[in-house]
A = this chain, B = another copy of it.
Amino acid sequence: MTVFGGVEAGGTKFVCGVGTGPEDLEVVRIPTTRPEETIAQTVAFFRRHPEIEAVGIGSFGPVDLHPESPTFGYITSTPKAGWQNTDLGGEIRRALGVPTGFDTDVNAAALGEARWGAAQGVSDFVYLTVGTGVGGGIVAHGRVLHGLVHPELGHIRVPHDLARDPYPGICPAHGDCLEGLTSGPAMQARWGVPAVELPLDHAAWGLEAHYLALALTTWVCTLSPRLMLLGGGVMQQPHLFPIIRQELSRLLNGYVRAPEILEGLDRFVIPPQLGSRAGVLGALVLAQQAFEAAVPRTASPGIAVLHGENA
């Protein structure tokens, strides 16, 4: 088994891991301070593991994901002080000298869930995390969706129920976008206490489920996913899932006539399975992808012959 390194580069900590998968993953956590310091500590950790064949990085963003771009692998216009225009991918790749994969933190988490978690074998799904922020990754035709930049799922617009909820939303850019209405900080600002302290019968949960179900409705109609994973701090309240499913069913109103949606919402909207390790495990998948892109393919003997003929 090939051993890879993975980094979930977050705004408060870098979770670095080495291993072949969930069974043997060794993890360290490095506080996110200045880029030079944090990247140096990250590199030092991987240098203690010369057995790694490649490294993958799932980073907070926005990031540049286009291999042909001069700033590929950079953290670009982040609000995090000191981290704008940081060549995270390039610095780690040059320091370690191994193939290096790079994607967003949430795309990495989606890949982790696809390989080892709740989305194994699923070609088309949405991975959403609802916590301090709201974000996610989309897998379509078995590939993470990138496009022009990368998805910013937290910033879609959903109908704001102003009669029931006069709170204006907390997003500095958009006010009442999805993140502005449903993130942990939005719940705390709206209700005056952290979400985790709200009793189970508080009106907050029905409202939260309503907004999240509106977003899921929009993604069902846009992406036609086969599965939706909802994780993150706010979703640690298991009672939210049945309310969200019921509301999603009410909002779709039978329009999408697939048994997975008409009869199987309890398997269609579910929690992820890898918890806080989804990002670093997904980074191992990014490492493997970079590894396989860098070496001549040997999986198919036919293709190997072809390489030989062309060499």
- Across the interface, do B77 and A147 meet the contact criterion of CB distance under 8 Å? no
Q: Could you tell me if A256 and B302 are in contact, using CB atoms closer than 8 angstroms?
A: no
Binds B, one of A20-28, A214-222, A277-285: A214-222
Known: A256-B149, A260-B148. Is A156-B221 also a contact (CB below 8 A)? Answer: yes
In the assembled complex, the Cα of A69 lies from the Cα of B173 at a distance in Å of 45
In the complex where A157-B217, A157-B218 touch, is A148 in contact with B255 (Cβ < 8 A)? no
Q: Which residue of B lies closest to A125 (CB)?
A: B147
- The docked-state distance in angstroms from the alpha carbon of A306 to that of B158 is 52
Q: Known contacts A157-B251, A309-B305; is A257 also within 8 Å of B76 by CB?
A: yes
Q: Is A152 an interface position by the 8 A CB rule?
A: yes
On chain B, the residues within 8 Å of A158 by CB distance are 157, 159
A173 near B310 with CB under 8 A, answer: no
- Min C-beta distance of A74 to chain B, whole Å: 12
Cα distance A138–B224 in the bound complex, in angstroms: 11
Smallest beta-carbon distance A294→chain B, Å: 21
Taking each of A152, A214, A309, which has the highest tally of chain B beta carbons within 10 Å of its own beta carbon?
A: A152
Size range of the chain A interface in the assembly: 35 or more
| B-chain residues with CB within 8 Å of residue A150 when the two chains form the complex | 224
- Whether a CB of chain B sits under 8 angstroms from the CB of A13 is no
- Do B256 and A222 touch across chains, with their CB atoms under 8 A apart? no
Interface presence of A193 (CB below 8 A): no
Interface residues of A in 284-311 (CB under 8 A from B): 302-303, 305-306, 309-310
CB contacts (< 8 Å) of A151 on chain B: these are: 221-224
Do A174 and B253 have beta carbons less than 8 Å apart? yes
Q: Do A160 and B159 touch across chains, with their CB atoms under 8 A apart?
A: yes
Supplied contacts A124-B148, A151-B222, 8 more A-B pairs, CB within 8 Å = A124-B147, A141-B143, A153-B221, A155-B221, A155-B255, A158-B159, A177-B221, A305-B309
